[in-house]
Amino acid sequence: MVRAFLGMGLLGTNFVKALLDKGVEVQVWNRSPEKATALEAAGAKAFAAAADAVRGADHIHIAVKDDASVNQVLAAAVPGLKAGAVIIDHTTTSAEGAIQRTKEWKEKGFTYLHAPVFMGPANAREGSGFMLVSGDQAVIEKVKPLLEKMTGKLINFGPEEGKAAGMKLIGNCFLVTFAAGLADTLSLGKALHISAQDIGSLFDIWNPAQMLPTRLQRMSSGEYDKASWELNMARKDTQLFMNTVEHNNGTLAVIPAIAAEMDRWIEKGFGNSDWTVIAKDAVS
């Protein structure tokens, strides 16, 4: 069974190498041809045109930048698509784009499945990490054996088209805010002459990640009257963060925005509520 892979970035390249290791025949294409031809030494067949790369392939995988790139690449591949071919898109896209492509490609006589991933290059190479799917359960059942071999865990979010895309965006949103929060934490540490290693040792002993499920439940409950940390007090500490870093000529990326949001809720009369009240609009 021939597989095609369009998009030889870090993720696509390592997916292809893993497939080749398993003895799968893979045809590859990339906008920058050298990234595709580099895989010929590993056994892939590289093509200069997307349409040629997908010719004869039963399953076409794609991993590119965004919605527009997916649409452009698949439009270029149309002349070579085999009747009934299955398109599996690993690109992080909008939920709306995934829904629209599922509908449009079905009307054209092809199957499109959005399967975004929480996988880095190393995960793609070794078949670990997480791959997300949702939509037509019959389609998912057919490709499940193929996808399970590409990842550590295949997560099926049910029949709702676009839900996998939405869950991927939610995960990435958390990762972005998590990294930005860590950057601010490191900036505060620098201002206090506390090293990243010392901060790490604190988190080894006191692991705030353990609080995540309980904190999410608390924030989404809509109940903020019984405060474990009052918003006024959290805002006081937030000002200490900003004053300390500013005094040492440092910068903070996200804390000032959080402080402004806290001020908004304090002005609305929620100063004595639990500080997680700042999520009230997001869950109501």
Task: Express each pLDDT in 203-218 by its tens digit.
Answer: 999 999 899 999 999 9
Confidence bin at 275 (pLDDT 50/70/90): very high
71-118, pLDDT tens digit by residue?
Answer: 999 999 999 999 999 999 999 999 999 999 999 999 999 999 999 999
Q: Is the separation of the CB atoms in 12 and 32 below 8 Å?
A: no
Rounded to two decimals, what is the model's pTM? 0.94
pLDDT value of position 16: 98
- Hey, is 79 helix, strand or coil? helix
60-79, pLDDT tens digit by residue?
Answer: 999 999 999 999 999 999 99
pLDDT value of position 1: 83
Q: What is the mean pLDDT of residues 146-174?
A: 98
Q: Which domains does the chain have, with CATH numbers?
A: 3-159 (3.40.50.720), 167-279 (1.10.1040.10)
pLDDT value of position 180: 97
1-38, pLDDT tens digit by residue?
Answer: 899 999 999 999 999 999 999 999 999 999 999 999 99
Q: What is the mean pLDDT of residues 185-211?
A: 96
Q: With 90 as the cut, is the pLDDT of residue 123 above it?
A: yes
280 counts as catalytic: no
Q: What is the mean pLDDT of residues 132-153?
A: 98
Options 144, 168, 190, 280, the catalytic residue: 168
Beta bridge pairs of residue 103: none
> Which element (helix H / strand E) includes 2?
strand 2-6
Confidence bin at 39 (pLDDT 50/70/90): very high
The half-sphere exposure of 119 on its side-chain side, counting CA atoms within 13 A, is 30
- Residue 282, judged by CB atoms within 10 A of its CB (0-12, 13-18, 19+), counts as exposed
Tally of residues, the chain: 284
pLDDT value of position 284: 79
**How many angstroms separate the CA atoms of 284 and 271, rounded?**
19
Beta bridge pairs of residue 156: 133
- Find where tokens 């500013």 sit: 246
> Which element (helix H / strand E) includes 88?
strand 86-89
Beta bridge pairs of residue 153: 130
Q: Mean pLDDT across the chain, nearest whole number? A: 97
